[in-house]
Amino acid sequence: MVHINEKYKKSILFLITIILFFVGYGMAPDPLKDGEYTVALEYNDEPVLFLLFRINIDSSIDEAFNLQELNITVSGKTLLIKFYEHYSGKMEKSITIYASILEEQILIDKPEIQRFSGTLIGNNQRINFTPKSVESSIVEFEFKILNQTNIALGLLLAISFLWLTELIPMAATSLLIPIIITLFEIDSADGALKEFSNPTVFLFLGGFLMAIAMHKSKLDEYIALKIISITPANSKFLLASFMALAAVFSMFMSNTAATAILITIALQLLDSIGIKDQKYKKTVILGIAYAATVGGIATLIGTPPNIITVGLIEKFDPSIQISFLNWFMFGLPVVIIMLPLVFIQLLWRFKPDVDEELFIRAKKHCKRQLDKKGRFNNHQKYVSIIFVLVLSLWMTSSIHHVSTGIIALIGAVALYFTGIIKQEDMNKINWNALITFGGGLTLGTIILRTGLADWFAMRFSTLQDLPAILIFFIIGLVAIVLTQIASNTASAAILIPVVMPLAVMMDLNPIVMAIMVAILCSMDFAIYIGSPPVLLAYSTGIFKVKDIFKTGILLDIVGLILVVFLSYSFFGLFILLM
């Protein structure tokens, strides 16, 4: 009976997936057909300045041509317009219009972007649009030609549902994306599969191999024991040591792998020194999981949303290149502030009470283990040298301009030459994560290319009247809620392509908005199934679901407030330093 019920459940979920595809197909704006359109442009001041002109969309041309200029004057104010009479209707092409205001024949510096609005009318379609940016006295309108938007929105809803329910494995869902893109002729096979070989995929691949090498050589265990052996014999210091290790390990390897390694060491250590207090065990194990979750935010390879975001930012604006070192400026401050808050919350929530004398035994136990292991063996030396070399090259990529993905592959090949990594170790790589990551990049790219992201942004343009800090908070809240029910990879792939054009439309920095969403997609503490490190902690059997929820919900809220504040106040300044 259980088997039958499970079969019916999958059938129902599959039917919902198909329905969602057709719902998205029907809800999406129709692609812009070739032909003539009327543009209505308005400046909502007193008196209103209003201008009508015509443009043509033609899929047979590659670039816009025949630049036109128009103006209208009312009560001493003149609205000047520059536009092309013919625009290309091909995928990824945009309609661009430039406007400026003169008052008594003098250009108004920085006219208020919120006062502008526009409408595109023709072929039974009506599309409202708002300005993209304002440079000096010129306001720029730009939005992508709507092309294959029906398929794109149907695909977005169906794939999001499959990722959310895991009706089929996430990697299998991700492989559906290029299949559908090719079948519906949104792109060629080469284009549909391109993002699966994105350099950032190989950055992650190199990170996985480095983590395997550290584990095989037992370098990770050696480092953990060494640090614990030199920390003061105190329960709080031991907790802080494990959390610091989890955070640092997660910066340079999968946070799931870092959590698995350290939880094993912690449980063995706590049992060996006779700690029976379950509250302290909960504090340490959950501390490792939460610290690994936070630590992954600091670097590009720490967690998938970071790399997805960088890839999508480069698609959105090729002039923006975020290096390994650049990401530190955004992620590291969050980690430095958030870790002590997690530490305080865990102690406040569980209030552990243990005999401090037991921790003297912990130090002795670690020292005995280190004595048995002796000094670094050759494999540990090789891994250490390669790791430091790779990290140094990552940190200096802005100087030598070698891709971070290529640097990761250099490290991987070096590990093969040392004999630490062998052919069979390739089977240990989390290929599911790499495929899911490639699928997320592909979906995000299609949302951008078809113009669907711009269309979504225009739907939310009514938010532009709100204070900027409130807009940041609303978008951040959407990100942190979505990541509670979907994987952080899926959440980033869905949200990032939408929030960038939305930020532009609201005269906010799209790069800051994207980075904020990426970080918040990893702020998942309350729901045990939402984050692999927290799920590993739960799988130890010492937690109830309510333990994790009551501890994590406050951290979710604190993380939201912290990241929104940093994004609103400082991240824009960091971008100027890049």
d(CA 475, CA 359): 45
Side chain identity at 13, as an amino acid letter?
L
d(CA 505, CA 495): 16
Res 476 pLDDT > 60: yes
| pLDDT the model gives residue 258 | 76
Residue matched to tokens 């908070």:
473
| pLDDT the model gives residue 105 | 59
- Concatenated DSSP letters for 122-142? ETTEEEEE---EEETTEEEEE
Q: With 0.85 as the threshold, say if the pTM is over it.
A: no
Res 83 pLDDT > 90: yes
Question: 103 has which bridge partners?
Answer: 77, 106
- Bigger pLDDT: 129 or 61? 61
d(CA 380, CA 564): 41
End-to-end CA distance of the chain: 60
Res 575 pLDDT > 70: no
**Long-range contacts of the stretch 270-276 (C-beta < 8 A, 24+):** 272/365, 273/358, 273/359, 273/361, 273/362, 273/365, 274/358, 274/361, 275/354, 275/358
- Helix locations, 28-169, DSSP H: 149-165
Res 482 pLDDT > 90: no
pLDDT > 70 in the chain, percent: 90
Q: Which of 6-15, 163-172, 188-197, 491-500 has the highest mean pLDDT?
A: 188-197
d(CA 281, CA 291): 15
Q: Which of 114-118, 337-341, 380-384, 500-504 has the highest mean pLDDT?
A: 337-341
In this prediction, residues 148-158 reach a mean pLDDT of 90
Q: Where are the domains of the chain?
A: 2-29+150-197, 35-145, 199-286+345-431, 432-577
Phi, psi of 418 (to 5 degrees): -75, -15
Q: Give the angle subtended at the CA of 342 by the CAs of 568 and 354, to the nearest 5°.
A: 165
Res 186 pLDDT > 50: yes
CB 356 within 8 A of CB 388: no
Residue 176: pLDDT band with limits 50, 70, 90: very high
| pLDDT the model gives residue 422 | 87
- Concatenated DSSP letters for 475-490? HHHHHHHHHHHS-HHH
- Concatenated DSSP letters for 361-426? HHHHHHHHHHHHH-S--HHHHHHHHHHHHHHHHHHTHHHH---HHHHHHHHHHHHHHHTSS-GGGG
d(CA 405, CA 383): 18
| pLDDT the model gives residue 263 | 80
In this prediction, residues 151-174 reach a mean pLDDT of 85
| pLDDT the model gives residue 393 | 82
pLDDT tens track for 255-306: 776 777 788 778 777 776 667 778 888 999 999 999 999 998 998 877 878 8
d(CA 286, CA 427): 29
In this prediction, residues 112-137 reach a mean pLDDT of 77
Q: Which of 10-14, 131-135, 481-485, 536-540 has the highest mean pLDDT?
A: 10-14
The mean of the pLDDT values for the chain is 82
Phi, psi of 465 (to 5 degrees): -80, -10
d(CA 425, CA 431): 12
d(CA 248, CA 250): 5
In this prediction, residues 104-116 reach a mean pLDDT of 61
- What are the start-end ranges of the E strands in 1-130? 35-43, 49-58, 65-74, 77-88, 94-103, 106-107, 116-122, 125-129
Residue 54 neighbours by CB distance under 10 Å: 13
In residues, how long is the chain?
578
Q: Which of 226-240, 375-389, 397-411 has the highest mean pLDDT?
A: 375-389
Res 2 pLDDT > 50: no
Residue 487: pLDDT band with limits 50, 70, 90: low
- Bigger pLDDT: 207 or 568? 568
| pLDDT the model gives residue 110 | 58
- Bigger pLDDT: 46 or 165? 165
Q: Which of 151-155, 397-401, 422-426, 463-467 has the highest mean pLDDT?
A: 151-155
Res 135 pLDDT > 70: no
- Bigger pLDDT: 575 or 25? 25
Lowest mean pLDDT among 97-111, 159-173, 470-484: 97-111
CA 233 vs. chain centroid, Å, equals 39
In this prediction, residues 136-147 reach a mean pLDDT of 82
CB 141 within 8 A of CB 132: yes
Is the dihedral angle over the CA atoms 347, 352, 356, 362 positive or is it negative?
negative
* Paired tokens of 62: 């590659």
pLDDT > 90 in the chain, percent: 21
